[in-house]
Structure formats: structure tokens, C-alpha cells
Amino acid sequence: MSLSAHLPALQVVLPLLSAPLAVLLRHGGFACAVVTAGAWAAFAAAVGLWLQAGEVGVVSYHIGSWAPPWGIEYRVDRLASFVLLLVSGTAAIVLPYSRASIEREIPREQHYLYYAMFGLCLAGLLGITITGDAFNIFVFLEISSLSTYVLIALGRDRRALAAAYRYLIMGTIGATFIVIGIGFLYLMTGTLNLADMAERLRDVESSRAVLAALAFLTVGISLKLALFPLHQWLPNAYTHAPSAVTAFLAATATKVSVYVLIRFWYSVFGESLVYVELPLPRIMLLLSLAAMFAASFTAIFQDNLKRLFAYSSVGQIGYITLGLSFDSIDGLTASIVHLFNHGVTKAALFLLIGGMVIGLAKSGTVPPAPTFDRLAGLAKRMPLTCFGIVIAGLSLIGVPGTAGFVSKWYLIVAALEKEQFWLVGAILLSSLLAVAYVWRFVEVAYFKPAAEGTTRREAPLGLLIPAWLLVIATIWFGLDTSFTVGTAAEAAQQLVRVGK
């Protein structure tokens, strides 16, 4: 057996191994090297799997050679390989960035613990994506969630603790709902393998227990993905977590939850149950619209830049779930593309903000919160950082030439296909709200006079380079859509074919 046959296992095992190694080393620098190596290896594995899945359609890996449905199966289809790329790619960029960023935000003696938690979180997120076993999803979900709570609590501000606690309570309720859902499915089908479950569900379809399972899973996962009224944990957690953590979570954690929702809706329950038996699409449509408008509107009035973009994240998740509510291949494609594009854009934004707060602080002090009163005339002081934030902001709005435009374009196409013309108006209108909150930054940073004697002082290069890599990626995926849209379209077709 060659190494490439074991890529699915290596994908999860390598970052998982790096975490305890980081703890054993007890040294910030070594821990960083080990976990970064693990993340890069995971990224390489994800690229390999993406290629393999392109060739054979679905890569199935039997852990310990136990054949499914008895053993645990790792299953990589087009969608899984796409999300794996996003998660491991973000980690591979954020980890080298962390080194300079947490230097000022986390006490030195806790650095190795930060890397250990990061490694665990990465392994958990990759595990959720790759596994084909329902209970395994829960276990990996808890691995990533528990490490996320710790990562958030590492923030210097005491509000980080309260935010982490709140997320712990809400996240655990969500995860427990997911377990209840999986429990009902197991009772009805007697299997935990997702593919096997989907087949057996056809015989018991639309019994009340199955509908209850669908409801529990949808609500539980919606809590984790911060669907509009269940997003209360998100703004505080993103605002007070260390910058690198915010960037990583914003790009991956909620996106992986969306992936789990798509997986259960399309691959397990199947379209007919989700879209015909229950009014789920209509509920999803309303909540998505509420997120697009209410959360984006709230974002306009925030004083803290990180908090502003945290609310914007809730709004953007609305676009992703909006695509799911259409029940069409185009809608699903739009969702998957936006999941990826928004991940890249938000990671770029939060990385730039992380560099910005360090540039704002006097050397050796804890970076201040990026509130608007501190940002006046910032463009003079950090032109590159501000320019990057503007580009990423344009992508949030959906200006042509940026990644955000591509996903909104496909959303509008999907809405037109369903002949929902008013929805096109709603999408455009909510983009205007994004213009408003991005403009707030532009106004303060570019048009307010800077304090006397401001000299040009950029964020450190170690922070600027990873952030700009992602900014360039936002433009790249806005111009060349063959990778993102191509993969997403294939994934959507594969999902709908299997779900039928």
C-alpha cells in the first residue's frame, strides 16, 4: 500500500498527533514548528485528496480495514475535499501568522498550549469533514469545540472568558441536540454509517421519529453555524478572542457546520424529506433574510471593528443558508461557493485587523481593541493594511472582481431560476448595508485627519504577508472561478444525484 492510499487517515492523524507533541515540547517555538508542520502536511493531504476525488468521485477509506457499515469509514467526495482544502489551507496560513501575533496577546508561558489547542481544533474540524460516520461527527465536533472554547478564553480581555463560557453553554446545547438527532436516526435505522443510513431511511421515511431527528439535527447544527436567531454567542467570541483565533474560526468553524448541515440534508435525509415533508426551506429562507438584514444592520452601529465584522459574518452566513433554501442545484452551488469565498475573505480581514492592532500598540504592550476612535487617519500610517481591508470589504459587498461577487452572482442566478424576483432585490438591498458598514471604516481611516506627527508604521511583515496572501486570493477567486465554481458545481451535482 502506498502512502497516497492512506491520505484520508493522515489528513486527520497528522494534526491530531501534533497537538500532544506540542504539549510535550513545552516550548513556544518548537510547538509552533510542530503544529505548523502538521497543518502544512494536512494541506498537502487535502490537495492530494482533492485530486483523488476528482478522478474517482468518492474516496472511501476503511479505518483499520473494518468494512463499513461495521467499521468507521472516511469518505471524501467533491464537497468534503473542497471544505478540507479551505480548513487546512486557512490553518496553514494562520499558523505562521500566529507566531508574531500571539507574542503580544498571550503570555509567553502559554504559547505551547495555544499551539496544542490549535492543532486539536484543526484535527477536529478536518475530522468532521472527512468522516462518514454519524457518531464520529459528534466526537470530532466536540474535539474542535472544546479546543475552540479554550482558544477564545486565551484572549487578554476578561470579556473573553465570559464569551468563551457563553459559547460553551450554547455550543454544548447545540452538540447535544445533534447527539439526540443521531440517536433517533440510530434507533430507526440501526446503523451509524451515513451512506448506509440514507439507504435504510427510505424504508422508514417520514415516520415521526425521523422527522424529530431532522428537527433536532437542524436546530443543533444551526446553533453551531450561527444561523440568525441562534448567533448570540458569535459576536463576543469573535471580538475578544486573540486575532489569529478569530481569523481561523471565522474562516472555518461556522463553515464546517454548514457543511455538516448540507451533509445531513442532502446525503442522509435526502431532498424529498427535507424539502417536501417539512417547511424547512421556507423557514430557512426567512431566517436567512433576517440574518442578511438584521445582522448587517447591527454591524453598521458597532464601535469595535472586530465586532462589526463579526456581525457581518452572521449576515454573510445568511447568504450561505439562503442558497440552501432554494432546493436547486444552482442554489446549492451558490451556497458552496459562498462558503469558500466568504471563508477566504473573512480570514483575510481578521488577519489584517490583527496586524493593525499590533501596529497600533506601543512596542511591548498588549494591543488595544480596534475601536473607531483609534483608527482616525489610519490609512496614512498603515496604507497597505487599510488597502487590504478595503479590498476584502469590497468582497463582502460583492463588487465585481472580488470573490464575493462570484458567489452573489450565483445566488442571484439561482433566485432568477426560481423566478423569485423580489429576492434579487433583497440580495442587492442587503449588499447596500454591507456598503454602509465598510464605508464606516473607509471614512474613518481615509478621511478623518490623523493625529499630529503620524509617521508611516506598518504592521510587522510577518503579519502582513500571510494576510495579503489571502487578500490576493480574494481577488484571484473573483477573476478566475474555474477552481471554486467548478468544484462547487461538481459537488452540488454529486450531492443531488446521491440524495435522489
Partner 1 sequence: MELLAHFSHVVAVFLMVAGLYVVMARGNLIKKLVGLSVFQTSVYLLYIAPGKLIGGTAPILAPQYGLYSNPLPHVLILTAIVVGVATLALGLALAVRIREAYGSIEEDEIIAADNAAEEARP
164 contacts partner 1 (rule: CB under 8 A): yes
Q: Is 208 in the site for partner 1 (CB under 8 A)?
A: no
Select 158 or 500, whichever has its Cβ closest to partner 1. Answer: 158
Q: Which of 173, 200, 172, 169 is nearest to 187 (CA)?
A: 200
Angle, helices 111-130 vs 134-153, to 10°: value is 160
Q: What is the CA radius of gyration of the chain?
A: 22
> Contacts with partner 1 in 300-319 (CB under 8 A)?
none
3-class state of residue 242 by DSSP: coil
Q: Contact 189/199 with Cβ under 8 angstroms?
A: no
Partners of 193 in beta bridges: 133
H-type alpha helices, 154-242: 159-189, 194-204, 208-225, 234-240
Nearer to partner 1, 237 or 389 (CB): 237
Q: Which stretch binds partner 1 (CB under 8 A): 163-171, 287-295, 474-482, 489-497?
A: 163-171
Q: Could you say which residues in the range 438-467 bind partner 1, by CB under 8 A? A: none
Please check whether residue 137 is in contact with residue 47, taking contact to mean a CB–CB distance below 8 angstroms.
Answer: no
Separation between Cα atoms, residue 333 and residue 322, nearest integer Å: 11
Query: Which x/- pattern over 106-145 shows residues binding partner 1 (rule: CB under 8 A)?
Result: -----------------------------x--xx--x---
- Provide the minimum distance between the beta carbon of 420 and partner 1 in the complex, in angstroms, as a whole number: 36
By the rule CB under 8 A, 297 interacts with partner 1: no
**Minimum Å distance from CB 432 to partner 1?**
29
Contacts of 472 (CB under 8 A, 6+ apart): none
Is the separation of the CB atoms in 38 and 116 below 8 Å?
no
Looking up cell 500532544 gives: 20
d(CA 214, CA 268): 10
Q: What are phi and psi of 76, to 5 degrees?
A: -115, 105
**Main-chain dihedrals φ then ψ at residue 193, nearest 5 degrees:** -70, 125
| CB of 61 vs partner 1, minimal distance in Å | 21
Among residues 5, 24, 51, 169, the one that binds partner 1 under rule CB under 8 A: 169
In this structure, how many other beta carbons lie within 10 angstroms of the beta carbon of residue 396? 27
- x/- string (CB under 8 A) for partner 1, residues 170-189? --xx--x--xx--x--xx--
Told to check if 211 binds partner 1 by CB under 8 A, we report: no
d(CA 61, CA 8): 7
**What is the nearest approach in angstroms of partner 1 to the Cβ of residue 95?**
23
Among 165, 409, 446, 483, binds partner 1 (CB under 8 A): 165
CB 173, CB 166: distance < 8 Å = no
Which residues inside 396-435 make contact with partner 1, applying CB under 8 A?
Answer: none
Of residues 49, 168, 226, 351, which one binds partner 1 by CB under 8 A?
168
Residue nearer to partner 1 on the CB measure, 172 or 493: 172
490's enclosing H/E stretch is helix 482-499
Centroid of chain to Cα 135: 21
112: nearest Cα among 38, 34, 24, 26 = 26
Place of cell 471524501: 76
Binding mask 247-286 for partner 1 (x = CB under 8 A): ----------------------------------------
The least distance separating partner 1 from the CB of residue 161, rounded to whole angstroms, comes to 5
Choose between 109 and 419: whose C-beta lies nearer to partner 1: 109
Residue among 155 and 270 whose Cβ is closer to partner 1: 155
DSSP letter string, 401-462: TSHHHHHHHHHHHHHHHTT-HHHHHHHHHHHHHHHHHHHHHHIIIIISPPPTT----PPPHH
Cβ of residue 179: shortest distance to partner 1, in angstroms? 5
* Helix (H/G/I), strand (E/B), else coil: 67: coil
Residues 142-161 that bind partner 1 (CB under 8 A): 142, 146, 149-150, 153, 158-159, 161
Q: How many chain residues touch partner 1 (CB under 8 A)?
A: 25
CB of 180 to partner 1, least distance (A): 6
Cβ proximity to partner 1, 170 vs 262, nearer residue: 170
Interface segment toward partner 1; rule CB under 8 A; list 162-170, 225-233, 260-268, 448-456: 162-170
* E-assigned strand segments in 242-302: none
Measured from the CB atom, the residue of 26 and 159 that comes closer to partner 1 is 159
* Residues binding partner 1 (CB under 8 A): 135, 138-139, 142, 146, 149-150, 153, 158-159, 161-162, 164-165, 168-169, 172-173, 176, 179-180, 183, 186-187, 192
